[in-house]
Structure 1
Amino acid sequence: MQADIAPPPATSLTAAPPQRVSVRDAVLDLLRGFGIHTIFGNPGSTELALFLDFPDDFQYVLGLQESVVVGMADGYAQATHNASFVNLHSAAGVGHAMGNIFTAHKNRTPMVITAGQQARAILPFDPFLFSGQATELPKPYVKWSCEPARAEDVPLAIARAYYIAMQEPRGPVLVSIPADDWERLTEPVAVREVAHTMRPDPVTLAHIGDALDASQRPAIVVGAAIDRGQAWSEVVQLAERHNARVWVAPMSGRCSFPEDHRLFAGFLPAMREKIVQLLGGHDFVFAIGAPAFTYHVEGAGPHLPAGATLAQLIEDPSVAAWTPVGTAAVGNIRLGVQELLQRPAPRTRALPPPRAARSVALPPPAGERMSCAFVLQTLAELRAPDSVVVEESPTARPVMHGYLPMLQSETFYTMCSGGLGWSMPAAVGVALAKPQAKVIGLIGDGSSMYSIQALWSAAQLKLPITYIILNNRRYAALQEFAPVFGFQPGDKLQGTDLRDIDFVALAQGHGCQGARVTDATQLRDALQAALAAPGPFLLEVEIA
């Protein structure tokens, strides 16, 4: 007869159920675990439940328009190297923000965007201010989008969104959250360790290293992913190891090599034939952290000079896929360059010829407007080398390349997309992330009007930003580009003149100090005063 065996006490088999918390508390705890304590937003009715009993350890940064919100979050994420958290309003708010969501996509900026949605119970009735296809609206410029099937799944969706946003190539993601989800009870979600980088294939890197070692006259083309990936010093070492001339890739949104370095060669334009011309004489071209190459106008002919071969190290497999020629290694830039530096030392090469010295910009004759070159030359003389320039002045950028060199890592930001309206708010985000740095927003008059509301956020936060508005009273980039489309000198180009905008009044109306300078003899003193201001200051400079 088999003896009866008493079952063990229920408490020894059944673990206590996890404590349930509100979706709001679960999400906020998750953000804390990710090191996120700042929320950027412009709230609407469907977002209000998130802010009930808003915790003291979080900061809410208000932008006065959704595109401004995303621009601020982009600058902040780039400067902190962590995903930013954005809260937008339903379909209209996401629609307003799409210009800078596109830029965040091109900038490879990690960003978790939440968009409000109407309550689940009324979604079948097409309610006012709902988003009919919330997950489709931001595509294709987000890496992933989701509207969770249940309120209880919102924290898991936020966690997944963060890991996807941070995985290289980084970028924005979006989670649509119905208004009544925040109060529902759910289980907390623990933060996991998830790798964000991938080591490039060692065999492909070895082939690139062999070609680099064997080359006679190598050139390195650097791009934004170097500074994004914190590989500045490694790339400098690699260039010095091979005595390779270093060019900046077309339309690069970051500074990736010291522009006063002996090996620095200059900037490649976004034109195929000119790139081939400038790289002439090199037998091996190594693009690091950059597409090879970004073009802005139609071109023809080869992508490289005769006799040259191309290799590329890029964190984005889609970029490697469309590159027309050469060998591509895909993976983290810093890890890839470190592996190349571990190879045996190559033979010694002679230094290439130095870059031609730039000319000196002279002040204008009395009564004439200053040149952009004179303004930027003066700014270069006055600014601290570790000050951070956030630029959006398409006409001034080629001039900046000659007269305002960037000398240190993480001291230059601009948009990789070409879309305007990013840099005014991005300067706010960078200043929030780098509170000890002087941030200089170098903005064109036309560009500034896309997101002038950022001045209000800068004033409310009392940030040390000096905005310099280069006012030439026109969309000069369009006027200079017009000959490509057949315009002749003297032809009228519609919609490019900008008259009668008072930037000082706009600054003061948003709570910022402002001043205007028209006389070259007053420029130095005006710039010194603007740079010394402890809070936000707008200096309008009238240029030729």
Structure 2
Amino acid sequence: MSHTPAARSSSVRDVMFDLFRQLGIDTIFGNPGSTELPMFRNFPSDFRYVLGLQEMVAVAMADGYAQATRNASIVNLHSAAGVGHALGNVFTAMKNKTPLVIIAGQQARSILPFDPFLYAAQATEFPKPYVKYSVEPARAEDVPLAIARAYHIAMQPPFGPTFVSVPVDDWDRQTDYLVARRIQAVRFPDDDSIDKLAGVLMHARNPAFVVGATVDREGAFDLMVELAERYSAKVFVAPFASRCPFPENHPLHAGFLPPMREGIVSRLAEHDVIVVLGAPVFSYHVEGEGPHIPDGSQLILVTEDPDQAAGAAVGDAIIANVKPVIERLLDRTGKVAPPLREPVRPLPSFVAEEDKISVDFLMKTLEEVRPQDCVIVDEAPTAHAARQDQIRLTRERSFFNCASGGLGYGLPAAVGLALGFPDRRVIATIGDGSSMYAIQALYSAAQLGLPVTFIIINNGSYRALEEFAGFFQIVDPVGTKLPGIDFVSLARSLGCAADRASVPGELAGKLQAAIGSSGPALLEVLTL
């Protein structure tokens, strides 16, 4: 990456924007406060500022955009209060392994000893442990260097958010221009590890692959298909996978592993070799007992994340990027797979009731009317199973979910994804409870005129909590009812077109209209 600065030095602010240009960044997401205003003095005309009406909205929009563009996003937050508001989605970005550089304001250096209004005490400690790197530079002149380091750390696998706190009086100080460096941030596997893994697969009686979000994140979707076919091995999707790592209409697609120990062991029972690619071993949601894999099975994990390797419950591990591992496995002489005899998983038949919309019927209808190249963003926890049953995702980068389990990500992430995928329709399926964490994102979508379809699944409750309460033998949990929210009026008040579907007969037509809109459109679907 070559670059010749126009001058030897300039303001910290101008040097920062020049650095962003070198790094291919022209968009900043944020919600500014008083301590950030000098950062944007004479805001450059070749940049755009995407405003979120709440800080967690700004972070999730930046997360979606970074995942779409495969480059780190820049997020602007306001000192302690703004960073506090954003932390829920900073946590999600860490779990999503999304590269973000968060630049937060700080009060002026000259008054920091006096505990001034709107300052951040221990600014670098506040976002930990959910950022990979956190710094408040010792000198104003070091701010661009700190931002450059934060960018490179965010972009090193496993990707993740980083944090830079900048005092308000730093931006007008003079400092030297920077020439951005290029860092090759890929871990290649050694030949010995690949030879051993290939040998295990070659001698396996009935191997299986378990694939996670990293397969899609690293652009290994098509390679994974080739690898599965090479060994005629079934492919299971890991619990809580936040991306689509394997085509769901492929004969070797064996479904989705549940987030419970006994269920995983049962699903993998017939397999003697289990290779996990780009996913934890394993993500559980409830307590369990017994082994983590079937007795007599051998498990090998391939991950770019050393913590994931160290924390695996069972098996051996190779720490390397998933894509070069798959490429090198394919280079080895593998099995000649027999013709695929497994039938493609059929879509289940379903008959709608005359006067009520079930979540299954909603997902079935969405599958019938959606563009096949659309991007689906999901944050409707009780609709996951219906989505997996009724919709078949077949393309890379076609599905994005929240890897942390925290609410308030999906709706604004859809806005960021729409910015990053300008030629694809983004469809967000969001629970009524989930949407209220970040409903302000509708305003951003409307102001930007983005072609996003928001489907609000309104069952009048935090249904996931009501269902999970049974695990603890709680019959009537408190705080789970959400009566009386009018999402159509909410959306329209924020500038977004909106409609409501309440009976099966009108669902398909209203879905088609919302998906076909030139700008953002919300469809509230009243479900059982």
Q: Write the deviation string for residues 143-170 of structure 1: whole angstroms up to 9, x where unpaired.
A: 0000000000000001100000000001
Give aligned-pair identity as a percent: 54
Q: Is the 8 A contact 1:224 1:254 kept in 2?
A: yes
Q: 1:537 corresponds to which residue?
A: 521
Q: In structure 1, what residue type is equivalent to 2:506?
A: Q
For 2:427, the aligned partner's letter is I
Q: Secondary structure at the match of 2:225?
A: helix
1:400-479 matches, cutoff 5 A = 400-479=387-466
State how far apart, in whole Å, the 2-side matches of 1:55 and 1:237 are. Answer: 46
Per-residue deviation, residues 270-310 of structure 1 (Å, max 9, x unmatched) = 00000000111011111111111110111110111122110
- Among 49, 53, 58, the alignment partner of 2:42 is 53
CA contact (8 A) 1:208 1:327 kept: no
**Is the 1:201–1:330 Cα contact (8 Å) retained in structure 2?**
no
CA–CA separation in structure 2 for the residues paired with 1:319 and 1:397? 25
Q: Is residue 27 of structure 2 the alignment partner of residue 43 of structure 1?
A: no
Cα 1:348–1:524 shift into 2, 3 Å: closer
- CA 1:218–1:178 in structure 2 vs 1: closer, same or farther (change >3 Å)? same
Whether contact under 8 Å (2:250, 2:344) holds in the other structure is no
- Select which of 514, 517, 526 maps to 2:510: 526
Residue 506 of structure 2 aligns to a residue whose secondary structure is helix
* In 2: Cα distance, 1:27 partner to 1:89 partner: 18
Take 2:191 and 2:157, find their aligned partners in 1: how far apart are those partners? Answer: 18
Indicate the SS of the match to 1:395.
helix
Contact 1:265/1:355 (CA < 8 Å) preserved in 2?
Answer: no
Aligned ranges for residues 263-342 of structure 1 at < 5 Å?
263-342=252-331
1:168–1:315 CA contact under 8 A, matched in 2: yes
Counterpart residue number, 1:198: 187
The structural deviation recorded for 1:350 is 6.6
1:161 matches 2:145: no
* Cα displacement (A) at 1:74: 0.2
Which shows bigger deviation, 235-244 or 196-205? 196-205
Amino acid at match of 1:408: R
Which residue does the alignment assign to 1:5?
Answer: none
Q: What is the rounded CA distance, in whole Å, between the counterparts of 2:134 and 2:205 in structure 1?
A: 48
Q: Which amino acid aligns with 1:541?
A: V
Root-mean-square deviation (CA), in Å? Answer: 1.2
The Cα offsets for residues 369-413 of structure 1, whole Å up to 9 and x where unpaired, read as 211011101100111111000110000011100001211000100
Query: Is the 2:277–2:303 Cα contact (8 Å) retained in structure 1?
Result: yes
1:383 aligns with 2:357: no
Partners of 1:130 and 1:517 in 2: how far apart? 47
Q: Map Cα deviations across residues 401-443 of structure 1 (whole Å, 9 max, x no partner).
A: 0001211000100110000000100000000001111000110
Q: What TM-score do the two structures reach when normalised by structure 2?
A: 0.97
Secondary structure of the structure 1 residue equivalent to 2:382:
coil
Aligned residue in 1 for 2:123: 134
Alpha-carbon distance, 1:345 to partner: 2.6
Q: Distance in 1 between matches of 2:80 and 2:331?
A: 51
CA contact 2:282–2:313 (8 Å) conserved in 1: no
C-alpha offsets along residues 160-210 of structure 1, whole Å, 9 cap, x if unaligned?
000000000010000000001000000011111111211123322221111
Structure 1 position 353, deviation (Å): 4.0
Unpaired stretches in structure 2, ≥5 consecutive residues: 1-5
Query: Contact (CA 8 Å) 1:74, 1:426: kept in 2 or not?
Result: yes
Q: CA deviation at 1:351?
A: 4.3
SS at match of 1:474: coil
Read off the aligned partner of 1:420 and give its amino acid letter: L
Deviation at 1:362, TM superposition (A): 1.3
Greater C-alpha radius of gyration = 1
Q: Which amino acid in the other structure matches residue 375 of structure 2? A: V
> Structure 1: how far apart are the matches of 2:184 and 2:147?
17
1:494 aligned partner, one-letter code: V
Does residue 464 of structure 2 align to residue 480 of structure 1?
no
3-state SS in 2 of match to 1:324: coil
The corresponding residue for 2:489 is 505
Specify which of 248, 255, 272 is matched with residue 259 of structure 1.
Answer: 248
Q: Retained in 1: the 8 A contact 2:9–2:175?
A: yes
- How far has the Cα of 1:482 moved from its partner? 1.0
2: CA distance, partners of 1:407 / 1:364:
29
Equivalent residue number for residue 3 of structure 2: none
Distance 1:309 1:485 in 2: 34
- Corresponding residue for residue 97 of structure 1: 86
2-structure distance, mates of 1:469, 1:152: 48
Letter in 1 for 2:454: Y
Q: For 1:56, what is the secondary structure of its paired residue?
A: coil
Relative distance call for 1:18 and 1:457 in structure 2 (3 A) is closer
Which residue identity is paired with 1:296?
A: H
Whether the 8 Å CA contact 1:80–1:433 is kept in 2: the answer is: yes
Kept in 2: contact 1:201–1:329 (CA 8 A):
no
Q: Distance in 2 between matches of 1:467 and 1:158?
A: 35
2:383 is matched with which residue: 366, 388, 396? Answer: 396
Task: Classify 1:379/1:310 alpha carbon distance in 2 versus 1 (closer, same or farther; 3 Å).
Answer: same
Please name the residue that 2:477 is paired with. Answer: 493
d(CA) in 2 for partners of 1:263, 1:443: 30
Determine which of 25, 33, 42 is the counterpart of 2:22.
33
Q: Find the residue that maps to 2:143 and give its secondary structure.
A: helix
Q: Which residue of 1 aligns with 2:101?
A: 112
Query: 2:516 matched to 1:515?
Result: no
Distance 1:360 1:475 in 2: 28
State the SS of the aligned residue for 2:430.
Answer: strand
1:70 is paired with a residue whose SS is: helix
Q: Which residue does the alignment assign to 2:74?
A: 85
Mapped to 1, the partners of 2:123 and 2:86 lie a distance apart of 14
1:21 to 10, 33, 39: 10
The DSSP-based 3-state class of the residue aligned with 1:50 is helix
Conservation of the 8 A alpha-carbon contact between 2:30 and 2:76: yes
Shift of 1:344: 0.8
> Is the CA contact 2:53–2:441 (under 8 Å) kept in the aligned structure 1?
yes
1:347 Cα deviation after fit: 4.6
Give 1:120 shift.
0.4
Q: CA deviation at 1:130?
A: 0.3
The answer (yes or no) to whether the contact 1:213–1:347 under 8 Å persists in 2 is no
Say whether residues 1:180 and 2:169 are aligned partners. Answer: yes
Deviations 1:452-502 (Å, cap 9, x if unpaired)?
000000000000000001111111111111111122xxx321111110000
The reply on whether 1:241 has 2:225 as its aligned counterpart is no
2:361 aligned residue (364, 374, 386): 374
Q: Distance in 2 between matches of 1:356 and 1:28?
A: 50
Deviation at 1:121, TM superposition (A): 0.4
C-alpha distance in structure 2 between counterparts of 1:140 and 1:201, whole Å: 31
CA distance in 2, matches of 1:354, 1:248: 18
8 Å Cα contact 2:251-2:342 kept in structure 1: no
TM-score by length of structure 1 reads: 0.95
How many equivalent pairs are there?
523
